[in-house]
Amino acid sequence: MASRRSRLINTFQQGIRWFHGSNIAQRQTMVEGLPLNYEVAGGGKKVALCMPGALGTIQSDFGPQMKSLAGKNLTLVCWDPPGYGKSWPPPRQYSLDFLHRDAAIAALLMKTLKYDKYSLLGWSDGGISALILAAAYPQHVDKLVVWGANAYVSDQDVKIYEGIRDINKWSQRMRAPLEAIYGTEYFKEAWEGWVDTLLHIYHEKGGDICKGDLAKITCSTLIIHGAKDPVAPLSHGQYLHENIKGSQLVIMDEGKHNIHLRSPEEFNKIVYQFLFKE
């Protein structure tokens, strides 16, 4: 399990290295009584919302995209979900439908920012919320790209989550990047809350996160998945592809969970071509 934890922490370290050196200004707005931190990069007419993963932030999860994918043809909006990054405090509120709530709040954020039509780029938990948002608000979503996402929790996933739950078993080097963002106490509370909630979904909902939403997705959809993803096994990407009508599946043979951070040039090229393909 140590190597899996190490890969998760490397995700944050790689993303933050990319983000540092950019000149993207921070902004904040209120949505549903929640202070939401967000960034806007690029100046294109085509707009996409970037949706981070568990405990993810703009800095940790989308540095290479905000810096290099956004440009004169593409505007990227990225947010810190409620209770994460600089959208904290207030603390993260977990429930069996917390990813559905994220989807609804993200849609309201884009409405507040006066973006009526946009694409979605969602990673991991953010990919799940992107699936839900695309299903619930088809009139607003142009195209959908998800990677490292899953629509259900399996027996295999439960073992993965249980293996990474206790941060006291992590080395200081592994904990340091997250503690730098959240502090020790809140990091522990938020991480355990996330793991416990996924386990509750497994036990109380038969593992169903958003399986019923997939048939409602009508926009052009690209699913990218790392063949060696240790956090969301490839079977999840294949399930999404089989259950989202007309979707495309790209498998990165050497890819792991954070394919957009490990291979940003290849990843950004795939996404850009999809977004601008007629």
Q: What are 88-132's pLDDT values in tens digits? A: 999 999 999 999 999 999 999 999 999 999 999 999 999 999 999
- Beta carbons of 27 and 40 less than 8 angstroms apart: yes
Q: Which distant-in-sequence residues (6+ apart) come within 8 Å of 25 by Cβ? A: 39
In order of start, what are the domains of the chain with their CATH numbers? 2-276 (3.40.50.1820)
Q: Each residue of 218-265: pLDDT tens digit?
A: 999 999 999 999 999 999 999 999 999 999 999 999 999 999 999 999
Active-site residue set:
124, 229, 257
Bridge partners of residue 40, in order along the sequence = 77
Q: Is the pTM of this model over 0.95?
A: no
First to last CA, the chain: 43
φ, ψ (nearest 5 deg) of residue 107: -65, -40
* Rounded Cα distance, 132 and 212, in Å: 9
